[in-house]
A and B are shown apart, each in its own frame.
Chain A
Amino acid sequence: MSGPRQASLQSRLLLLVLGFATAVSLGAAVITWRDAQHEIDELLDGHLGQAAALLMVHAKGDYDDVFDIPVLQKFASQVAFQVYVDGQLSTRSSNAGTQPMVTAQDGFSTVRREDGDLWRVVVMREMKPEVTVLVAEKIESRQSILWAVMRSLLQPLLLALPLFGLALWWSVRKGLAPIRALRGALEQRAPHATEPVSLQGMPRELEPLVQTLNGLLARIHRMVEGERRFTADAAHELRTPIAAIRMQAQVALGAGDDEAERTHALRTTLAGCDRATRLVDQLLTLARLEAAPATQARPVDLSAVVRRVAAELTHTALARGQELVLLADGPCMVAADELLLGVLVRNLMDNAVRYSPEGARIQVLVRAEPGVAVLQVEDSGAGMTEEAITHLGERFFRVLGNEQPGSGLGWSIVRRLLSVFGAQAQIGRSADLGGLSVTVRWPGP
């Protein structure tokens, strides 16, 4: 895994839910704030207006004095008023000053007065006689009401949020218990255990995950099993030639005066070494193929590869009195890695030479059909039974009664290479020669 470590699922859930809960609470508080402010403004403006109306009535009754209403004293610092009659200040509260509190027209407005505070002012005018009434109230007093409202709203919320978080933490933890149980079950497995994880009691959401995991485990199991079987088979297959080499060497040592026996044993020892070498080569080829299946496919001339391999095998074929015939008219391009293509062609042709009797005819045909390249290797040997053909390519399967040393690995290599190339092979009896016929078809390059 790369990148920074992801936060745990639990803390993510916790943060998300708590974050949303807080945001929603704050949003509600803001809305309440605006609502409350609006309502308070409306109510108190109403009161201001009423007070202005009272003052107006009073001014019409020709009182002209600075007067003190005892009731208003309590709010002296909060409320102020001025009454002008015919443009002259006739009555005012003690905190109202002598200048008009506001120069605006009739109605409500908010102004900053010379004392530095914000005031809400209402102006009311009447004609005959011309009377102007100004009543003001400190905004601050309105805000303290608002704060009181908000306090009563927010305090329980602030108290509730940590409790809510705690409950949430517990619930999330409880809800994620199956994941922890799964982790525990996985942790307790033996390092090489590949049996499936039990689906019992698994929540629906985790089931696909566990099923995918089980699929992966099954694949690993098959791979490990194949590897184990291969190692066992390879060990088995390697021990036999080595046992033969050792036995023949001991026979040569113990041959005494029997020169013929010693020579035979020594020759067989050498043949045993060649056989072991070939086996090791094949095992290594197979191991390399399985380790690095990805190859670079380029257009390669199949005819050229076949000609090269045929040249290498001619010597062996001649020594066995076999006739090796190559039928290839012109280049035939296939998409493949040239080295691997050589391994495939060599295995097919080597098999034909090796397992055909002396004096046999081996015919190799390269042909380009529309969209398909065809390689056909046929021989005039004994061919193979249907049953033997079905077992071909199983590692270490060999045809009964075959005198030629071999391990059956050649076919494993061929099969592996075919899947790398995406080519198809068809095995049957040769119509022309009567022996084995192997036909490989490549999709066009």
Chain B
Amino acid sequence: MRILLAEDDAMLGDGLRAGLRQAGFQVDWVRDGVAAERELASGVYAAGVLDLGLPLKDGLDVLKDLRARKIATPILVLTARDAVPDRVVGLDTGADDYVVKPVDLLELSARLRSLVRRSLGQVHDTLCSGAVVMDAAARSVTYKGEAVTLSTREFDLLHALMRNVGRVLSREQLEQQMYSWGYEVESNTIEVHIHHLRKKLGTDLIHTVRGVGYTVQRELPAA
């Protein structure tokens, strides 16, 4: 899952980026409000972590303007402003969650997963399609009840497809969801990962739509 982190403090931003990467997120880090709004509006992020005291444009204004533009990307506000009125204003302005610094890395990760899950209308963190069951929190996958070992990229690719079950995702969309800034993605990388996934999880799961992209269907025909 690709996350945008908007935090102006160098030390905290660095820690958050490293921590969230450890938790399995792809993280892009911006350090001012204008960049945060621009990136969140791009629609490639599953969620955003937004500090309120940002330079150039305050986090609350970013939130307000994004929501005014009907951009529904889930946003978790991470701030040192802990007074109840501040929380109320933050949530009413359009924040999906409001977390006061300092925050535990595991809690922050869980909250982000929960935000993304809810934004996709899922009830819990387990995704199913046919015989494939994915536990996004534990980053584990079983096929016909057996644990399957996936690489990080393979897992991220499968997660992107299973999160958007029933939707066709183009190669570019998949790349955007899997890779944060600074990665050179080879043109056939996605195809290679799809190939590996089909070897591990059977060929029925991921369906190729010629000229458009790939999809995972909600219910597979009985195998």
Distance in angstroms between the alpha carbons of A242 and B82 in the assembled complex: 15
Q: Which residues of chain B (101-150) have a CB below 8 Å from chain A? A: 101-106
Q: Check A268 against B80 for contact (C-beta < 8 Å).
A: no
- Give the contact stretch, choosing among B7-15, B62-70, B156-164, B180-188: B7-15
* Cβ–Cβ contact B102 & A235, under 8 A: no
The distance from the CB of B89 to the nearest CB of chain A, in whole angstroms, is 14
Q: Which residue of A lies closest to B15 (CB)?
A: A247
Chain A residues with CB under 8 Å of B10's CB are 403, 405
Q: How far is the CA of A196 from the CA of B55 in the complex (A)?
A: 37
Report whether B11 and A254 are in contact in the complex, using a CB–CB cutoff of 8 Å. Answer: no
> Is there contact, CB below 8 Å, between B15 and A248?
yes
Q: A289 at the A/B interface (Cβ < 8 Å)?
A: no
Q: At the interface, yes or no: A365 with Cβ under 8 Å from chain B? A: no
A250 touches B105 (CB 8 A): yes
Alpha-carbon distance between A255 and B53 when the two chains are bound, in angstroms: 29
Establish whether residues A240 and B12, one from each chain, have CB atoms under 8 Å apart when the complex forms.
Answer: yes
- Contacting A at CB under 8 A, from B156-206, are none
Q: Does A232 contact B (CB under 8 A)?
A: yes
Which residues from B are CB-within-8-Å of A251?
Answer: 15, 18-19, 22, 105
Looking at B82, B83, B100, B102, which has the most chain A CB atoms within 10 Å of its CB? B102
In contact, B11 and A275 (Cβ under 8 angstroms): yes
From B11, B82, B103, A248 is in contact (CB under 8 Å) with: B11
Q: How far is the CA of A243 from the CA of B16 in the complex (A)?
A: 9
Distance in angstroms between the alpha carbons of A272 and B11 in the assembled complex:
7
Given B32, B56, B102, which contacts A243 in the complex, CB threshold below 8 Å?
B102
Question: Given A236-B81, A255-B22 in contact, is the A242-B15 Cβ separation under 8 Å?
Answer: no
Give Cα A248 to B14, complex, Å.
8
A209 to B103 alpha-carbon distance, docked (Å)? 52
Q: Check A244/B15 contact, CB under 8 A, given A239-B102, A255-B22.
A: yes
Closest residue on chain B to residue A269 by CB atoms: B15
Chain A residues with CB under 8 A of B11: 241, 244, 248, 268, 271-272, 275, 405
Q: Across the two chains, which residue of chain A brings its CB closest to B12?
A: A244
What are the residues of chain B within 8 A of A244 when measuring CB–CB?
9, 11-12, 14-15
User: Measured between alpha carbons, how far is A403 from B11 in the docked complex, in Å?
Assistant: 9
Cα of A403 to Cα of B8 in the assembled complex, Å: 10
The reply to whether A235 and B80 contact each other, CB–CB distance below 8 Å, is: yes
Q: Given the complex, which residues of A lie within 8 Å of B56, measured CB to CB?
A: 400
Distance A272 CA – B82 CA, assembled complex (angstroms): 21
Q: A236-B53, A240-B80 are in contact. Are A246 and B32 (CB under 8 A)?
A: no
Q: Which residues of chain A come closer than 8 Å to B19, judged between CB atoms?
A: 247, 250-251, 254
Report Cα–Cα, A241/B12, bound state, in Å.
7
Looking across the interface, which residue of chain B has its beta carbon closest to that of A248?
B15
Chain A: residues with Cβ within 8 Å of the partner, total of 29
CB closest chain-B residue, reference A242: B102
* Other-chain residue from A232, A247, A400 in contact with B12 (beta carbon distance below 8 A): A247
Residues of B within 8 A of A403 (CB): 10
Contact A261–B18 (Cβ < 8 Å): yes
Query: Separation in Å of the B13 CB from the closest CB of chain A?
Result: 8
Q: How far is the CB of A279 from chain B (nearest CB, A)?
A: 12
Contact partners of B104 in chain A: CB under 8 A: 246, 250
Q: Cα distance A239–B16 when bound, in Å? A: 14
Cβ of A265 < 8 Å from any Cβ of B? yes
- Roughly how many angstroms separate A243 CA and B81 CA in the complex, as a whole number? 13
A358 CB to closest chain B CB, in angstroms? 16
**When the two chains form their complex, are residues A254 and B22 in contact, meaning their CB atoms are under 8 A apart?**
yes
A275 to B11, CA, bound (A): 10
Choose one: B53, B83, B100, B105; the contact of A247 (CB below 8 Å): B105
Q: How far is the CA of A235 from the CA of B101 in the complex (A)?
A: 10
Cβ distance A303 to chain B, nearest Cβ, rounded Å: 37
Q: Mark A255-276, 1 if CB is under 8 A from B, else 0.
A: 1000001001100100110010
The reply to whether A240 and B9 form a contact with Cβ atoms under 8 Å apart is yes
- A215–B55 CA distance with the chains assembled, in angstroms: 37
Q: How many angstroms between the C-alpha atoms of A243 and B103 in the bound complex?
A: 6
Q: Which chain B residues border A261 with CB–CB below 8 Å?
A: 18
Set of chain A residues within 8 Å of B15, measured between Cβ atoms: 244, 247-248, 250-251, 265, 268
State the CA gap A275–B9 with chains docked (Å): 12
B9 closest partner in A (C-beta): A240
Q: A268-B14, A275-B11 are in contact. Are A246 and B80 (CB under 8 A)?
A: no
* A window 220-237: CB within 8 A of B: 232, 235-237
A242 CA to B53 CA in the complex, in Å? 16
Residues of B within 8 A of A250 (CB): 15, 19, 104-106
B18 contacts across to A, CB distance below 8 A: 247-248, 251, 261, 264-265
Residue of A nearest to B51 (CB): A240
* A243 with B105: CB separation less than 8 A: no
Distance from B94 Cβ to chain A, minimum over Cβ atoms (Å): 22
CB distance from A245 to the nearest CB of B (A): 8
Please indicate which of the listed interface residues B15, B22, B100, B104 has the most CB atoms of chain A within 10 Å of its own CB: B15
In the complex, what distance in Å separates the CA atom of A403 from the CA atom of B19? 21
- Most B CB contacts (10 A, CB to CB) among A237, A243, A261, A268 go to A243
Min CB gap A41→B, angstroms: 93
B-contact 0/1 string along A94-127, CB 8 Å cutoff:
0000000000000000000000000000000000
Whole-angstrom distance from the CB of A357 to the nearest CB of chain B?
A: 16
Q: Which A residues lie within 8 Å of B81 (CB)? A: 232, 236
Can you list 8 pairs linking A and B with CB atoms under 8 Å apart?
A236-B80, A239-B100, A242-B101, A247-B15, A247-B18, A247-B102, A254-B105, A265-B18
Closest CB pairs A-B (n = 6): A247-B15, A243-B102, A243-B101, A244-B12, A239-B80, A244-B11
